Protein backbone atom coordinates (compact mmCIF):
# COMPACT_ATOMS: atom_id res chain seq x y z
CA UNK A 1 0.00 0.00 0.00
CA UNK A 2 1.39 3.39 -0.89
CA UNK A 3 2.63 5.77 1.75
CA UNK A 4 -0.22 8.07 1.02
CA UNK A 5 -2.83 5.44 1.65
CA UNK A 6 -1.20 4.46 4.94
CA UNK A 7 -1.09 8.07 6.02
CA UNK A 8 -4.81 8.38 5.46
CA UNK A 9 -6.00 5.31 7.33
CA UNK A 10 -3.47 5.21 10.19
CA UNK A 11 -5.25 7.77 12.38
CA UNK A 12 -8.54 5.92 12.04
CA UNK A 13 -6.88 2.64 12.97
CA UNK A 14 -5.38 4.26 16.06
CA UNK A 15 -8.71 5.70 17.03
CA UNK A 16 -10.70 2.55 16.52
CA UNK A 17 -10.22 0.85 19.93
CA UNK A 18 -11.19 4.03 21.78
CA UNK A 19 -14.27 4.63 19.68
CA UNK A 20 -15.43 1.06 20.11
CA UNK A 21 -14.81 1.14 23.83
CA UNK A 22 -16.59 4.43 24.30
CA UNK A 23 -19.57 3.27 22.26
CA UNK A 24 -19.87 0.06 24.23
CA UNK A 25 -19.43 1.59 27.64
CA UNK A 26 -21.25 4.87 27.20
CA UNK A 27 -23.77 4.57 24.42
CA UNK A 28 -24.92 1.09 25.30
CA UNK A 29 -25.47 1.64 29.05
CA UNK A 30 -27.37 4.82 28.34
CA UNK A 31 -29.75 3.05 26.04
CA UNK A 32 -29.98 0.12 28.44
CA UNK A 33 -30.76 2.42 31.34
CA UNK A 34 -33.70 3.90 29.50
CA UNK A 35 -34.85 0.41 28.64
CA UNK A 36 -34.62 -0.69 32.27
CA UNK A 37 -36.48 2.32 33.52
CA UNK A 38 -39.36 2.14 31.11
CA UNK A 39 -39.81 -1.51 30.38
CA UNK A 40 -42.47 -3.66 32.02
CA UNK A 41 -42.24 -7.41 32.65
CA UNK A 42 -44.33 -8.19 29.63
CA UNK A 43 -42.01 -6.25 27.36
CA UNK A 44 -44.17 -3.20 26.81
CA UNK A 45 -43.54 0.37 27.91
CA UNK A 46 -44.58 1.52 31.31
CA UNK A 47 -44.21 4.44 33.63
CA UNK A 48 -44.68 2.22 36.63
CA UNK A 49 -41.08 2.39 37.80
CA UNK A 50 -41.03 6.13 37.51
CA UNK A 51 -44.20 6.33 39.52
CA UNK A 52 -42.79 4.07 42.21
CA UNK A 53 -39.77 6.29 42.38
CA UNK A 54 -41.75 9.49 42.74
CA UNK A 55 -44.23 8.12 45.23
CA UNK A 56 -41.55 6.81 47.53
CA UNK A 57 -41.44 8.67 50.80
CA UNK A 58 -37.75 9.41 50.52
CA UNK A 59 -37.99 10.83 47.01
CA UNK A 60 -39.15 14.37 47.72
CA UNK A 61 -36.57 15.04 50.44
CA UNK A 62 -33.83 13.51 48.29
CA UNK A 63 -34.83 15.64 45.31
CA UNK A 64 -35.11 18.78 47.40
CA UNK A 65 -31.83 18.21 49.18
CA UNK A 66 -29.98 17.51 45.96
CA UNK A 67 -31.24 20.69 44.32
CA UNK A 68 -30.62 22.69 47.48
CA UNK A 69 -27.11 21.31 47.74
CA UNK A 70 -26.35 22.34 44.19
CA UNK A 71 -27.86 25.79 44.58
CA UNK A 72 -25.68 26.45 47.62
CA UNK A 73 -22.53 24.66 46.59
CA UNK A 74 -22.09 26.11 43.13
CA UNK A 75 -21.86 29.80 44.10
CA UNK A 76 -19.77 29.01 47.17
CA UNK A 77 -17.34 26.87 45.21
CA UNK A 78 -17.04 29.28 42.36
CA UNK A 79 -16.27 32.22 44.58
CA UNK A 80 -13.72 30.17 46.46
CA UNK A 81 -12.24 28.77 43.26
CA UNK A 82 -11.98 32.24 41.74
CA UNK A 83 -10.16 33.52 44.80
CA UNK A 84 -7.81 30.55 44.72
CA UNK A 85 -7.22 30.96 41.00
CA UNK A 86 -6.48 34.68 41.37
CA UNK A 87 -4.12 33.93 44.24
CA UNK A 88 -2.24 31.37 42.20
CA UNK A 89 -1.92 33.81 39.32
CA UNK A 90 -0.90 36.72 41.53
CA UNK A 91 2.81 36.16 40.93
CA UNK A 92 3.54 35.46 44.57
CA UNK A 93 6.64 33.69 45.64
CA UNK A 94 5.88 30.02 46.20
CA UNK A 95 2.92 30.16 43.83
CA UNK A 96 4.00 26.72 42.67
CA UNK A 97 3.68 25.43 46.19
CA UNK A 98 0.29 27.07 46.60
CA UNK A 99 -0.90 25.48 43.39
CA UNK A 100 0.20 22.06 44.59
CA UNK A 101 -1.56 22.49 47.91
CA UNK A 102 -4.78 23.83 46.41
CA UNK A 103 -4.87 20.97 43.96
CA UNK A 104 -4.42 18.19 46.52
CA UNK A 105 -8.16 17.60 46.99
CA UNK A 106 -8.37 16.61 43.30
CA UNK A 107 -7.05 13.22 44.24
CA UNK A 108 -9.27 12.71 47.27
CA UNK A 109 -12.35 10.58 46.95
CA UNK A 110 -15.84 11.61 48.06
CA UNK A 111 -15.76 9.00 50.76
CA UNK A 112 -12.46 10.06 52.28
CA UNK A 113 -13.51 13.70 52.17
CA UNK A 114 -16.74 12.80 53.92
CA UNK A 115 -14.88 10.94 56.65
CA UNK A 116 -12.49 13.85 57.16
CA UNK A 117 -15.28 16.33 57.71
CA UNK A 118 -17.17 13.84 59.84
CA UNK A 119 -14.12 13.79 62.07
CA UNK A 120 -14.32 17.55 62.33
CA UNK A 121 -18.03 17.84 63.00
CA UNK A 122 -18.67 14.77 65.11
CA UNK A 123 -19.69 15.16 68.71
CA UNK A 124 -16.24 14.39 69.98
CA UNK A 125 -14.65 16.04 66.99
CA UNK A 126 -12.16 18.80 66.29
CA UNK A 127 -14.60 21.60 65.73
CA UNK A 128 -16.17 21.12 69.11
CA UNK A 129 -12.71 20.91 70.66
CA UNK A 130 -11.80 24.22 69.06
CA UNK A 131 -15.01 25.95 70.11
CA UNK A 132 -14.78 24.69 73.67
CA UNK A 133 -11.19 25.71 73.78
CA UNK A 134 -12.07 29.20 72.65
CA UNK A 135 -14.69 29.39 75.35
CA UNK A 136 -17.64 29.64 72.98
CA UNK A 137 -19.16 26.38 74.16
CA UNK A 138 -19.51 24.67 77.54
CA UNK A 139 -20.23 21.24 76.28
CA UNK A 140 -19.95 19.70 72.82
CA UNK A 141 -22.64 20.66 70.36
CA UNK A 142 -24.17 17.78 68.46
CA UNK A 143 -23.87 19.07 64.89
CA UNK A 144 -24.58 15.79 63.26
CA UNK A 145 -27.85 14.73 64.79
CA UNK A 146 -30.67 13.65 62.57
CA UNK A 147 -32.84 16.47 63.80
CA UNK A 148 -30.36 19.10 62.78
CA UNK A 149 -30.82 18.83 59.03
CA UNK A 150 -29.57 22.38 58.70
CA UNK A 151 -26.24 21.58 60.28
CA UNK A 152 -26.06 18.27 58.44
CA UNK A 153 -26.44 20.03 55.15
CA UNK A 154 -23.91 22.64 56.20
CA UNK A 155 -21.34 19.96 57.00
CA UNK A 156 -21.96 18.22 53.67
CA UNK A 157 -21.62 21.51 51.82
CA UNK A 158 -18.32 22.19 53.55
CA UNK A 159 -17.05 18.72 52.76
CA UNK A 160 -17.94 18.99 49.09
CA UNK A 161 -16.63 22.54 48.85
CA UNK A 162 -13.39 21.39 50.38
CA UNK A 163 -13.02 18.48 48.04
CA UNK A 164 -14.34 19.62 44.71
CA UNK A 165 -13.27 23.26 44.52
CA UNK A 166 -9.92 22.23 43.10
CA UNK A 167 -11.56 20.96 39.93
CA UNK A 168 -13.13 24.33 39.30
CA UNK A 169 -9.96 26.15 40.30
CA UNK A 170 -7.85 24.30 37.77
CA UNK A 171 -10.24 25.16 34.96
CA UNK A 172 -10.31 28.81 36.03
CA UNK A 173 -6.53 29.03 36.28
CA UNK A 174 -6.24 27.66 32.77
CA UNK A 175 -8.75 30.27 31.64
CA UNK A 176 -6.96 33.07 33.47
CA UNK A 177 -3.70 32.16 31.85
CA UNK A 178 -5.20 32.65 28.45
CA UNK A 179 -6.20 36.24 29.19
CA UNK A 180 -3.43 38.42 27.79
CA UNK A 181 -2.09 40.43 30.68
CA UNK A 182 -2.17 43.55 28.55
CA UNK A 183 -5.89 43.74 29.23
CA UNK A 184 -5.31 43.95 32.96
CA UNK A 185 -2.49 46.42 32.52
CA UNK A 186 -4.75 48.60 30.39
CA UNK A 187 -7.37 48.46 33.13
CA UNK A 188 -4.74 49.59 35.61
CA UNK A 189 -3.70 52.48 33.42
CA UNK A 190 -7.30 53.59 33.24
CA UNK A 191 -7.64 53.60 37.00
CA UNK A 192 -9.57 50.43 37.74
CA UNK A 193 -9.74 49.14 41.29
CA UNK A 194 -9.38 45.47 42.09
CA UNK A 195 -13.13 45.04 42.28
CA UNK A 196 -13.53 46.74 38.92
CA UNK A 197 -10.86 44.61 37.36
CA UNK A 198 -12.41 41.40 38.54
CA UNK A 199 -15.96 42.32 37.73
CA UNK A 200 -15.51 44.13 34.45
CA UNK A 201 -12.47 42.59 32.85
CA UNK A 202 -11.66 39.18 34.26
CA UNK A 203 -15.10 37.66 34.71
CA UNK A 204 -16.40 38.55 31.27
CA UNK A 205 -13.25 37.22 29.62
CA UNK A 206 -13.45 34.13 31.79
CA UNK A 207 -16.93 33.30 30.60
CA UNK A 208 -16.05 30.28 28.45
CA UNK A 209 -14.03 28.72 31.27
CA UNK A 210 -16.78 29.52 33.76
CA UNK A 211 -19.26 27.86 31.49
CA UNK A 212 -17.19 24.68 31.19
CA UNK A 213 -16.53 24.58 34.92
CA UNK A 214 -20.15 25.19 35.83
CA UNK A 215 -21.42 22.46 33.57
CA UNK A 216 -18.86 19.97 34.78
CA UNK A 217 -19.30 20.77 38.44
CA UNK A 218 -23.09 20.69 38.34
CA UNK A 219 -23.16 17.36 36.57
CA UNK A 220 -20.74 15.95 39.10
CA UNK A 221 -22.80 17.43 41.92
CA UNK A 222 -25.87 15.50 40.86
CA UNK A 223 -23.89 12.33 41.44
CA UNK A 224 -22.73 13.10 44.97
CA UNK A 225 -23.58 10.31 47.33
CA UNK A 226 -20.79 8.87 49.46
CA UNK A 227 -19.90 12.13 51.12
CA UNK A 228 -23.43 12.52 52.48
CA UNK A 229 -23.42 9.00 53.84
CA UNK A 230 -20.04 9.51 55.47
CA UNK A 231 -20.92 12.81 57.08
CA UNK A 232 -24.58 12.44 57.85
CA UNK A 233 -25.33 8.74 57.79
CA UNK A 234 -29.06 8.36 57.22
CA UNK A 235 -29.82 11.95 58.14
CA UNK A 236 -29.58 13.24 54.61
CA UNK A 237 -30.46 11.55 51.44
CA UNK A 238 -29.57 12.47 47.91
CA UNK A 239 -30.78 11.25 44.52
CA UNK A 240 -27.69 9.19 43.80
CA UNK A 241 -27.86 7.65 47.26
CA UNK A 242 -31.48 6.69 46.65
CA UNK A 243 -30.52 5.10 43.37
CA UNK A 244 -27.99 3.03 45.22
CA UNK A 245 -30.49 2.08 47.90
CA UNK A 246 -33.09 0.92 45.40
CA UNK A 247 -30.49 -1.17 43.61
CA UNK A 248 -28.78 -2.64 46.62
CA UNK A 249 -31.25 -2.83 49.52
CA UNK A 250 -34.54 -3.09 47.65
CA UNK A 251 -33.10 -5.13 44.78
CA UNK A 252 -35.03 -3.15 42.21
CA UNK A 253 -32.79 -2.22 39.32
CA UNK A 254 -35.71 -0.77 37.36
CA UNK A 255 -36.43 1.93 39.90
CA UNK A 256 -32.72 2.48 40.35
CA UNK A 257 -32.52 2.99 36.60
CA UNK A 258 -35.38 5.51 36.85
CA UNK A 259 -33.28 7.50 39.28
CA UNK A 260 -30.38 7.27 36.84
CA UNK A 261 -32.52 8.57 34.01
CA UNK A 262 -33.78 11.40 36.21
CA UNK A 263 -30.25 12.38 37.12
CA UNK A 264 -29.28 12.31 33.46
CA UNK A 265 -32.25 14.53 32.54
CA UNK A 266 -31.42 17.01 35.28
CA UNK A 267 -27.81 17.11 34.08
CA UNK A 268 -28.89 17.80 30.53
CA UNK A 269 -31.34 20.50 31.58
CA UNK A 270 -28.77 22.31 33.68
CA UNK A 271 -26.20 22.04 30.89
CA UNK A 272 -28.61 23.60 28.43
CA UNK A 273 -29.42 26.35 30.93
CA UNK A 274 -25.74 27.14 31.40
CA UNK A 275 -25.03 27.09 27.69
CA UNK A 276 -27.92 29.43 27.05
CA UNK A 277 -27.40 31.71 30.01
CA UNK A 278 -23.68 32.09 29.61
CA UNK A 279 -23.42 32.19 25.89
CA UNK A 280 -20.77 34.58 24.65
CA UNK A 281 -21.82 36.42 21.52
CA UNK A 282 -19.24 35.89 18.79
CA UNK A 283 -18.28 39.55 18.67
CA UNK A 284 -17.35 39.54 22.30
CA UNK A 285 -15.01 36.61 22.39
CA UNK A 286 -11.24 36.87 22.60
Partner 1 sequence: MAEIRLENVRKVFGKTVATRDVSLTIHDREFMVLLGPSGCGKTTLLRGIAGLEQIDAGRIHIGGQDVTDLPPRKRRIAMVFQSYAVFPHLTVYENIAFGLRMQRVPAAEMKKRVQAAADLLQIANLLDRYPAQVSGGQRQRVAVARAIAVQAEVLLMDEPLSNLDALLRLEMRAELKRLLKELNSTVVYVTHDQVEALSLGDRIAVMKDGEILQCDTPLAVYDYPANDFIGGFIGNPPMNFLDGKAAMNGAGAAVTAGGVTFQPPPTVQSALQAKPVAGVRLGIRAENIETNPSPAESALAGTVLVVEPLGSHNLLTVQVGGERVKVNTRADAAFQPGQAIWLKLAPDKIRWMDHESGRTLG
Partner 2 sequence: MRSSTALLRRFGRALTYGLAVLVSLWVIVPIYLIGVAAFSEQLAVYTYPRPFFPSPFSTETMEFFLRSSGVLASARSSVIVALITLVLSTLIGAPAGYAIARFVFRGRDSFRLLVVSTRAFPIVILSIPLAVTFIRWDMYDSAYSLALMHTALALPFTILITSSVFASVPRDLEEAAMTLGCNQFEAFLRIALPLALPGLAAATLFTFVLSWNEVFAAVILTVRNRTLPALVLTVLDESPLPYRFAGGFFMLAPSLVFMLFIRKYLFNLWGRVTK
Eight-state DSSP code of residue 45: B
- Which helix (H) or strand (E) segment holds residue 96: the answer is helix 95-103
> Binding partner of residue 38 among partner 2, partner 1, none, CB under 5 to 8 Å per kind?
none
Q: Per CB under 8 A, which region of 2-10, 82-90, 197-205, 236-244 contacts partner 1?
A: 2-10
3-state helix, strand and coil shares in percent for the chain, rounded to the nearest 5: 75, 0, 25
Nearer to partner 1, 8 or 22 (CB): 8
Helix, strand or coil for residue 216? Answer: helix
Q: Considering only residues 4, 93, 124, 251, which one is a binding residue for partner 1 as defined by CB under 8 A?
A: 4
Partner from partner 2, partner 1, none binding residue 157, C-beta < 5-8 Å depending on class: none
Interaction partner, residue 82 (partner 2, partner 1, none; CB < 5-8 Å by kind): none
Distance (Å, whole) CA 142 – CA 125? 10
- Span 148-207, contacts to partner 1 by CB under 8 A: none
Which 7-36 positions form the footprint of partner 1 (CB under 8 A)? 7
By beta-carbon proximity to partner 2, the closer residue of 65 and 128 is: 128
Residue 157 backbone dihedrals phi, psi, to 5 degrees = -60, -45
Nearest CB to partner 2, comparing residues 99 and 153: 99
159-188 core/surface letters (b: 16 or more CB in 10 A; e: else): bbbbbbbbbbbbbbbebbeebeeeebeebe
C-beta closer to partner 2: residue 69 or 226 = 226
**C-beta closer to partner 1: residue 5 or 139:** 5
* Interface with partner 1, residue 147, by CB under 8 A: no
Beta partners for 45? 39
Name every residue whose Cβ is closer than 8 Å to that of residue 203 and which is 6 or more positions away in sequence: 210
- Residues within the interface to partner 1 (CB under 8 A): 2-4, 7
Amino acid sequence: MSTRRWQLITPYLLLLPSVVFLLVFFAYPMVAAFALAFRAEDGGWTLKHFQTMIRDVAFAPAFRTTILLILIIVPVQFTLALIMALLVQAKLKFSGLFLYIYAIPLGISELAAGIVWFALFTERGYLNTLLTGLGLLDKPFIFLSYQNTGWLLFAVVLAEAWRATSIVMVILVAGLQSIPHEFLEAADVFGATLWDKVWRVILPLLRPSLQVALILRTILAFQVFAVAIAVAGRGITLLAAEAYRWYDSYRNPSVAASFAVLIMLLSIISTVLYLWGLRTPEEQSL
